[in-house]
Structure 1
Amino acid sequence: MAWKSRTRSLQVFDTELSADTVEWCPVSSDHDVLACGTYQLHKGVGEDDATPSRTGRLYLFEFRREGPMIPPLTELQRIDTAAILDLKWCHVPVSERPVLGMAAATGELQLFTLSGSQDGGRSLQPLSSLEVGAERLALSLDWSTGRLDSSSDIRVVCSDSAGCVSVLSLAEGALTALSQWKAHDFEAWISAFSYWDTQLLYSGGDDCKLKGWDLRVGPSSPTFTSKRHSMGVCSVHSSPHREHIVATGSYDEQVLLWDGRSMKRPLSETPLGGGVWRLKWHPTNQHLLLAACMHNDFHVLHCQQALEGGEGACPVVASYILHNSLAYGADWSRLSLEDPAPRSPPPAAAAAEEPLAESVGHLRIQYESPTASFDTSLEDDAGRYIPEVAAAAPPPPAAGPPLHPDTDAASVSCLLASCSFYDHMLHVWRWDWTPEEAEPC
Structure 2
Amino acid sequence: MCDDKPPCKHITTLHTYTTDYNADSVEWCPHEPHQSVFVCANYQLNPETGKRVGCILLFSVTSDELILHQKIETAAVLDQKWCHNKINDWALLGVANAQKTLEIYALKGDDLKLEFVTSCQLDDDRETLFLSLDWSTGKFASGEPEIVVSDSKGAIHRFKLRNCELIKAESWHGHEFEAWICAFYYWDPNIVFSGGDDCRFLKFDKRAGVGPLSCNRRHEAGVTSMHSNVGKEFILATGSYDETARFWDIRQLKNCLSLVKMPGPLWRLKWDPYDHKYLLAAFITNIKTLLMGLIGHTSKRTNP
Could you say which TM-score interval applies, normalised by the shorter chain? over 0.9
Q: Secondary structure at the match of 1:122?
A: coil
CA distance 1:210–1:87, change in 2 (3 Å): same
- Note if 1:202 corresponds to 2:188: no
Please name the residue that 2:261 is paired with: 271
Amino acid at match of 2:61: F
Amino acid at match of 1:26: P
Please name the residue that 1:102 is paired with: 95
Residues 382-426 of structure 1: per-residue CA shift (max 9 Å, x gap)? xxxxxxxxxxxxxxxxxxxxxxxxxxxxxxxxxxxxxxxxxxxxx
Please name the residue that 1:31 is paired with: 35
For the residues of structure 1 that align with 2:258 and 2:17, how far apart are their CA atoms? 36
- Note if 1:43 corresponds to 2:41: no
For the residues of structure 1 that align with 2:16 and 2:8, how far apart are their CA atoms? 24
Please name the residue that 2:282 is paired with: 292
Contact 1:54 1:82 in 2 (8 A): yes
For the residues of structure 1 that align with 2:8 and 2:185, how far apart are their CA atoms? 34
For the residues of structure 1 that align with 2:67 and 2:174, how far apart are their CA atoms? 41
Size of the aligned set, in residue pairs, is 292
Q: Secondary structure at the match of 2:25?
A: strand
Contact 1:82 1:106 in 2 (8 A): yes
Contact 2:84 2:135 in 1 (8 A): yes
- Note if 1:156 corresponds to 2:147: yes
Correspondence list, 1:218-229, <5 A: 218-219=209-210, 221-229=211-219
Please name the residue that 2:203 is paired with: 212
For the residues of structure 2 that align with 1:6 and 1:204, how far apart are their CA atoms? 32
Aligned with 1:76 (options 69, 76, 96): 69
Q: Secondary structure at the match of 1:216?
A: helix
For the residues of structure 1 that align with 2:34 and 2:244, how far apart are their CA atoms? 34
Give the deviation of 1:308 after TM superposition. Answer: 2.8
For the residues of structure 2 that align with 1:141 and 1:151, how far apart are their CA atoms? 17
CA distance 1:75–1:241, change in 2 (3 Å): same
Contact 1:21 1:86 in 2 (8 A): yes
Contact 1:132 1:138 in 2 (8 A): no
For the residues of structure 2 that align with 1:187 and 1:210, how far apart are their CA atoms? 12
Please name the residue that 1:230 is paired with: 220
Higher mean C-alpha displacement, 225-234 vs 130-139: 130-139
Amino acid at match of 1:137: L
For the residues of structure 2 that align with 1:23 and 1:258, how far apart are their CA atoms? 25
Task: Tell me which structure has the larger Cα radius of gyration.
Answer: 1
Please name the residue that 1:142 is paired with: 134
Residues 91-125 of structure 1: per-residue CA shift (max 9 Å, x gap)? 10111100000000000000001124xxx531001
- Note if 1:86 corresponds to 2:89: no
Give the deviation of 1:152 after TM superposition. Answer: 2.8
Contact 1:132 1:166 in 2 (8 A): no
Give the deviation of 1:27 after TM superposition. Answer: 1.7
Amino acid at match of 2:21: L
For the residues of structure 1 that align with 2:178 and 2:112, how far apart are their CA atoms? 36
- Note if 1:111 corresponds to 2:104: yes
Contact 2:281 2:293 in 1 (8 A): yes
Structure 1 portions without partners, runs of 5+: 311-441
Amino acid at match of 1:283: P
Contact 1:242 1:286 in 2 (8 A): yes
Please name the residue that 1:399 is paired with: none
Residues 186-213 of structure 1: per-residue CA shift (max 9 Å, x gap)? 1111000000000000000011100000
Q: TM-score, normalised by structure 2?
A: 0.92
Aligned with 1:122 (options 112, 134, 140): 112
Please name the residue that 1:256 is paired with: 246
Amino acid at match of 1:57: C
- Note if 1:192 corresponds to 2:183: yes
Q: TM-score, normalised by structure 1?
A: 0.64
Q: Which has the higher contact order (CA 8 A, sep 6+)?
A: 1
Correspondence list, 1:56-75, <5 A: 56-65=54-63, 70-71=64-65, 73-75=66-68
Give the deviation of 1:153 after TM superposition. Answer: 3.6
Amino acid at match of 1:140: S
Q: Secondary structure at the match of 1:121?
A: coil
For the residues of structure 1 that align with 2:111 and 2:145, how far apart are their CA atoms? 27
Residues 289-325 of structure 1: per-residue CA shift (max 9 Å, x gap)? 0000022611000002xx2359xxxxxxxxxxxxxxx
CA distance 1:231–1:97, change in 2 (3 Å): same
Please name the residue that 2:51 is paired with: 53
For the residues of structure 2 that align with 1:121 and 1:114, how far apart are their CA atoms? 8
For the residues of structure 1 that align with 2:275 and 2:89, how far apart are their CA atoms? 27
RMSD across aligned positions (CA)? 1.7
For the residues of structure 1 that align with 2:8 and 2:15, how far apart are their CA atoms? 22
Percent same amino acid among aligned pairs? 38
Give the deviation of 1:285 after TM superposition. Answer: 1.5
For the residues of structure 1 that align with 2:181 and 2:205, how far apart are their CA atoms? 16
For the residues of structure 1 that align with 2:123 and 2:32, how far apart are their CA atoms? 34
CA distance 1:246–1:4, change in 2 (3 Å): closer
Amino acid at match of 1:79: I
